[in-house]
């Protein structure tokens, strides 16, 4: 038996969208279950996201601290953002987010992990990149607003961040997945064996 996620779609008898927001919406599908019953399933419809674990030559990760209102916390995170344009190349989006949030560029890009953040209630798919060979970006810093106006930026040793994850002190999904994927890759076939930055992503197909 191969342990691998596979695409599948059960019959939908009816669908409605009771809420439409600025970036996301809520959908209700009436889904036919294996026993023949029809059950309503509510979920958030999300455009998808990218995140970047940017690693410098000293083994430090670029992290930001930002207020997240739904959980009433300031969370340490890795740079991330929405795929605002349908079909947008996720690498280009990740490069943009790293520039806007950290004013950094990277020469070496690879895919660390592809995840569904909360598949029981949201269709958000996130591609987490590893970025290396960092340098300061050229030009003016991106002008921030809203929550980002209060954002803090640091470079923290990976070992310290991993300790915080395992101690229950750091909670951001992309930070946790990115860090632990990094450690697994380092202890496995090495970072150069990771998928290329433009590897196919069936969850959010894109043009090169």
Token pair 């601290």: residue: 65
Catalytic residue among 148, 152, 169, 198: 148
The angle, 0 to 180 degrees and rounded to 10, between the axes of the packed helices 173-187 and 158-166 is 120
CA 67 to chain centre: 17
Separation between Cα atoms, residue 34 and residue 128, nearest integer Å: 34
Catalytic (active site) residue 148: yes
- The per-residue DSSP string of the chain comes to -----------EEEEEEEEE-SS-EEEEEEEE-TTS-EEEEEEEE---EEEEEEB-TTSEEEEEEEEEGGGTEEEEE--EEE--STT--HHHHHHHHHHHHH-EEEEEEEEEEEEES-TTTB--EEEEEEEEEEEEPSSSPPPP-GGGGG-EEEEEEHHHHHHHHHTT----HHHHHHHHHHHHHHHTT-GGGSEETT---TTS----
Residues tagged active-site:
148
């Amino acid at each position: 038996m191969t342990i691998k996620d596979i695409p599948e779609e059960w019959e939908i008898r009816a669908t409605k969208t009771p809420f439409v927001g600025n970036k996301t919406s809520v959908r209700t599908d009436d889904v036919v279950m294996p026993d023949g019953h029809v059950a309503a399933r509510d979920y958030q419809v999300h455009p998808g996201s990218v995140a970047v674990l940017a690693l410098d030559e000293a083994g430090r990760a670029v992290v930001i601290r930002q207020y997240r209102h739904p959980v009433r916390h300031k969370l340490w995170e890795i740079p991330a953002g929405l795929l605002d344009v349908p079909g947008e190349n996720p690498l280009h989006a990740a490069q943009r987010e790293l520039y806007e949030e950290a004013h950094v560029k990277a020469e070496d890009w690879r895919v660390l992990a592809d995840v569904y953040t909360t598949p029981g209630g949201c269709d958000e798919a996130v591609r987490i990149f590893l970025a290396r060979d960092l340098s300061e970006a050229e030009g003016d810093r991106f002008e921030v607003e809203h929550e980002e106006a209060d954002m803090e930026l640091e470079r923290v040793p990976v070992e310290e961040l991993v300790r915080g994850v395992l101690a229950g002190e750091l909670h951001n999904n992309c930070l946790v997945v990115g860090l632990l994927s990094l450690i697994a890759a380092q202890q496995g076939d090495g970072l150069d064996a990771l998928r290329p930055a433009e590897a196919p992503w069936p969850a959010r197909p894109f043009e090169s």
